[in-house]
Amino acid sequence: MPERRTVALVTLGCARNEVDSEELAGRLEADGWQLVENAADADVAVVNTCGFVEAAKKDSVDALLEASDLKGHGRTQAVVAVGCMAERYGKELAEALPEADGVLGFDDYVNISERLQTILNGGVHVPHTPRDRRKLLPISPVERQNAGADVVIPGHGPADLPEGLAPASGPRPPLRRRLDGSPVASVKLASGCDRRCSFCAIPSFRGSFISRRPGDVLNETRWLAEQGVKEIMLVSENNTSYGKDLGDIRLLESLLPELAEVDGIERVRVSYLQPAEMRPGLIDVLTSTPKVAPYFDLSFQHSAPGVLRAMRRFGDTDRFLELLDTIRGKAPQAGVRSNFIVGFPGESEADLAELERFLNHARLDAIGVFGYSDEEGTEAATYENKLDEDVVAERLAHISRLAEELVSQRAEERVGETVHVLVESVDDEEGVYGRAAHQAPETDGQVLLTGLTGGEDVAVGRMVEAKVVGTEGVDLVAEPLTGTSVWGEEAGR
């Protein structure tokens, strides 16, 4: 019997890319490829790139070059780029990076096995010329679902499952294979974005907004629960728009309780919320539904009205603070995170002071700060009133220091709170770590559970009730409450 072809998937960027990698893994495994963890052990290394900002692009290029260095020194014969950077640049990336043996766009995903085999056999796959993917779907959201069947959208693949690959409960789209044993998994709620923020190029290569059908999201969640997943995180470019192309902008409010009732799921988290689209009903569901985390990943970006208008966004400091007051009036322990851009073209000292005013009053649990840089193809790149790079860097450093101080203060406010911690790692030396409801994976800090030691008794995937007794920066230290346990299959449940 011939040796099976092997492939490794290296994923960069956001949680949406992680879902796309697991779709590619499912397709490849269904066609007979053996998935391996390390690129050095693979015939083909597939790098799922990020094309969001310059730093992410550099990381993607570095990962491609690192994988390429493996060729000729072991098993690795080919390195292939997929993902956002590959889609966004296509032929340009292939010409600039000859070390990559192939550059595949989203349209290649349904034929990923054939494409990799061609490249592995020494053939050439001609990279695509990038196009504006917003033009692939109708302008009217309600006309997109039928048209979407003819457009390749990562995470919205065909419904046909090879027999035996996954249980009957799902998933239907996308075909998916887990790449790690984490008790947390992301689920795509939608893809694309209809907003036209002047600094963002994502809609041009991810396309217009299109929702997945609720039944597909439920089926995939049931399947993930059968794989041992305890927490799902709903991801898309804009979750607050979910359902608008299905005829019901309030569809998320009815879907969340159904997801929370899936057997085995302990927590449902929603990410990527637009402040201007937040609805009273959605806030109610997020703050009152059992097993749905009162967690608000709100994309503020700035709070000075003039800067927001230049960004093609809406709101101001006072309106944003009113929104936070409404959320905390319903759920005082709610978690809130956001990202901000400083040094945007035309940003004045007064604008920066207004952002500081917002940050000082917002009590955010996690803050990401980015210095503005031009993104080709965006409206903001054409603006004339650009700030000097050293001014942008100075403002970035200043707001970053303030953000670090503020999130540490917010963590200290949580001392004495009771939190429910999902155990994610157990180590005899490092201890037992997990996350509370206000902490999303990778971005928002973690909780060290004291009084627990590594060994058979401590299980990854356990939900532990604990009291916060201290902080370490943004991270919390908590003691399990008497009567709660992570021991045994059903202990403490």
Annotated binding residues for [4Fe-4S] cluster: 14, 50, 84, 193, 197, 200
Question: Is residue 489 a contact partner of residue 440, using CB atoms and an 8 Å limit?
Answer: no
Neighbours of 37 (CB within 10 A): 12
Neighbours of 430 (CB within 10 A): 10
Question: Is residue 230 a contact partner of residue 463, using CB atoms and an 8 Å limit?
Answer: yes
- Distance CA(405)–CA(427), nearest Å, equals 29
User: Which amino acid would we find at residue 222?
Assistant: R
Question: Is residue 242 a contact partner of residue 277, using CB atoms and an 8 Å limit?
Answer: no
Residue ranges of alpha helices (H) inside 261-348 are: 280-288, 305-310, 317-330
SS3 295: strand
Classify residue 343 by burial, with Cβ atoms within 10 Å: 0-12, 13-18, 19+: buried
CA dihedral (63, 64, 67, 73) positive or negative: negative
- Distance CA(370)–CA(301), nearest Å, equals 9
Q: What share of the chain is helix, strand, coil (3-state, %, to 5)?
A: 35, 20, 45
Tokens of residue 351, six digits? 């604008």
- Collect all residues with Cβ–Cβ distance below 8 Å to 331 and sequence separation of at least 6: 286, 287, 288, 294
Interhelix angle 280-288/251-260, rounded to 10 degrees, is 10
Binding residues: 14, 50, 84, 193, 197, 200
Give the E-state strand segments of 77-215 in sequence order: 78-83, 102-103, 184-188, 190-191, 210-211
Q: Tokens 């399990």 appear where?
A: 480
Which one, of 388, 381, 298, lies nearest residue 347 by Cα?
388
Which one, of 169, 167, 173, lies nearest residue 213 by Cα?
173
Q: Tokens 């998994």 appear where?
A: 185
Helices then strands (H, E): number in the chain? Answer: 14, 18
Which one, of 49, 488, 14, lies nearest residue 272 by Cα?
14
User: Which amino acid would we find at residue 473?
Assistant: G
Question: Is residue 449 a contact partner of residue 480, using CB atoms and an 8 Å limit?
Answer: yes
SS3 47: strand
- Distance CA(451)–CA(311), nearest Å, equals 48
SS3 368: strand
